Every structure is written in structure tokens, then in C-alpha cells.
Amino acid sequence: MADGTVPRLFCFGLGYSASHLARRLLHRGWHVAGTVRSAEKADQLREQGLEVHLFDRDHPLADPAATLAGTTHLLISVPPDGQGAGDAALDHHGADLAACADQLHWAGYLSTTGVYGNRDGGWVDENSELCPSSARSARRVQAETAWRRMHIDHGVPMHTFRLAGIYGPGRGPFRSIREGKAKRIDLPEQKFGRIHVEDIGDVLEASIARPDPGAIYNVSDDEPAAPADVTQFACELLGVEPPPLVSWEEADMSAMARTFWQDNKRVDNSKVHRDLGVQFRYPTYREGLQAVLQAETQTPVERRS
């Protein structure tokens, strides 16, 4: 930092995307701390050099003042659960975070483009009305609103990032294809956005470098695409025949899986390009999947939660 002090990031929820950013910043000389729900995951991340604490709805931080002391940057990545304000970190430690607002240079909340709901293939941007079409996305809206109040009421420099479908090494279509579980549903007009975890990291780092408290950013790639097209391309990369197209009615999916197909929209990402100066490493699924396959081939990884 400008004054020579070591920046300190604290992440509520060291999941797939947050862990990726955490490792990046750790390699840049930051002190990085955060929370997980299991002792096994905590041990894995400690071996990588992170300071890790156990936390969930039933187990708040034991000594939040000491744990958060010196934190300069804050990332919220825990999923909302619909209880209280919808976010366990805010319910348990909102007062603690408000108390250290003056020391925070930046705070970010990882949300989802699911808050926009279904637009029948139309475009949405950060000013579009929020119309969640599932209870899961409605909880995201509730949590977004609660964290935004932390900025308005207490000066926490909050930024909101609405992420499209996240993929990257260990989290993509290749495993399901190899295991014969991949599906191609014949809905060519159904468009989804995606975002590679490396591009999420670039957006977050750009925002940290150019803080604009209260800002909202859509984080989605440059080409919304039908899932069947993505699966077909992944199969081509593997050199295997793609699964046959099936109708929506014939598709064998769980109720949970079907909720992801309720929304059909295109997400405008021009704000991250314009305001943050970010040019994606993987502007479409084609570049992204090629990179994922190369990474998984070089260093096999297991999917991270």
C-alpha cells in the first residue's frame, strides 16, 4: 500500500472464486485470512499460507475484534441462507464490521446475475430491475440489499459483483462428459452467461485498484451462449462425440437443476470494461474451455466447493 503497510484481506467464505483471489493476493505479498466451514478445508488452505477460521451460521467467529484487526479489504462470499438479514456474516458480525469501517479501503460482495430473473433472452445491465425467479436468487437480492445498507449506514466501502456461471480448472464440463453424464438440451434460444475464475480475479483486483463504493458490476463474458453449444465445443476439445440433443420435456434433471434453466437473458458487461478497464483473458467459452482443459491436463485438480 502507499504508506508501506501490508494490505490485509479478510474473506467471509473461502470458496472457489474467493480462494482463487486469496492465493493471487498472497503471492503479491498480502496477508490473507478468511473462513471455511470444515476443519479439513481449513487445514488445506493453511498449508497454502492463508490464515483460516471456522465459521458458519451456527458458529460465529470466537474473537471477531482480534480476527478482523488491521483488515484493509473485505470480501463476502458466503451464500445467503434466508435467515435474519439473509447472510450469516452480516447477522453475526455486522456490528463488528461497522466498527472497523474506517480502516477498510475496499469491500466486495459476490452476488449472481440470477437476481435479474428471466428476460426471455433480453439484455440486462446494472440498472435493470431485479426480478428473481427462484427463492435462491431472491435470497441474493435480500443479502445484496443488506450489504448495501452497510455502505449507506456505516460507510463500509461496499462493491457488488453479479457473477454469471463460474467455471475454471476443476469446475467445468469435462468431468461430466468423461463420466457420460453430460446433457445437451435442445433450447437454442436459451442463453446463459459464464465467467472464468481468472477473469473474476481480474475484475476484483481492478476494483480494488479503483474503488468506487456503492458500485455494482455485472461479471459475465462477452458471448452469452446456449449450454448445448458449450457442451458440444467441450466434446470437440476432448475428441468425443457429443451427447444427443434431447427436448426439455425429456431431460432427466433434478428440480434444483431445472431452476437454473428458468432464466433466459443476456448480461451486458460493458461497465467492467469501461469503468475498470478490464479486458477478459477468456472473452468467450471457447478460449476459456481450452485454457481449462490445458490446466486440468497439466495438473489434475478436484472441483473445489
- How far, in Å, CA of 96 to CA of 78, rounded? 17
Answer whether residue 86 shows pLDDT above 80: no
Select from 70, 71, 54 the least CA-distant residue to 14.
Answer: 54
Q: Which of 41-50, 112-121, 253-262 has the lowest mean pLDDT?
A: 253-262
The CATH homologous superfamily for domain 8-168+195-221+266-282 is NAD(P)-binding Rossmann-like Domain (3.40.50.720)
Whether 260 shows a pLDDT value over 80: the answer reads: no
Instruction: Tell me what the mean pLDDT of segment 91-105 comes to.
Output: 97
177-233, pLDDT tens digit by residue? 999 999 999 999 999 999 999 999 999 999 999 999 999 999 999 999 999 999 999
Cell 459464464 belongs to residue: 194
The pLDDT of 97-118, averaged and rounded, is 98
Model confidence at 67, pLDDT cuts 50, 70, 90, reads: very high
What was the pLDDT predicted at 11? 99
pLDDT for res 304: 42
- Percentage of the chain exceeding pLDDT 90: 87
Has residue 37 got a pLDDT over 80? yes
pLDDT-derived band at 299, boundaries 50, 70, 90: low
Q: Give me the helices (H) in the chain, please.
A: 16-27, 39-47, 64-68, 88-99, 135-154, 174-178, 197-209, 227-238, 255-259, 270-276, 285-298
Q: How high is the pLDDT of residue 85?
A: 64
62 pLDDT tier (thresholds 50, 70, 90):
very high
Q: What integer best gives the mean pLDDT of the chain?
A: 94
- pLDDT range class, residue 302, cuts 50, 70, 90: very low
Higher pLDDT, 116 or 247: 116
Going by pLDDT thresholds of 50, 70 and 90, the confidence category of residue 13 is very high
> What pLDDT is recorded for position 149?
96
Q: What is the pLDDT of residues 148-172, one digit of tens each?
A: 999 999 999 999 999 999 999 999 9
Residue 69, phi-psi category: left (phi > 0), alpha (psi -120 to 50), beta (remainder): beta
Q: What is the pLDDT of residue 249?
A: 85
Instruction: Find the largest Cα–Cα distance for the chain.
Output: 61
Cβ atoms of 261 and 224 closer than 8 Å? no
Predicted confidence band of residue 122 (pLDDT cuts 50, 70, 90): very high
Among 23-37, 153-167, 179-193, 245-259, the range scoring the smallest mean pLDDT is 245-259
Q: How far apart are CA 152 and CA 158, in angstroms?
A: 9
The answer on pLDDT for 305 being more than 70 is no
Per-domain residue ranges of the chain: 8-168+195-221+266-282
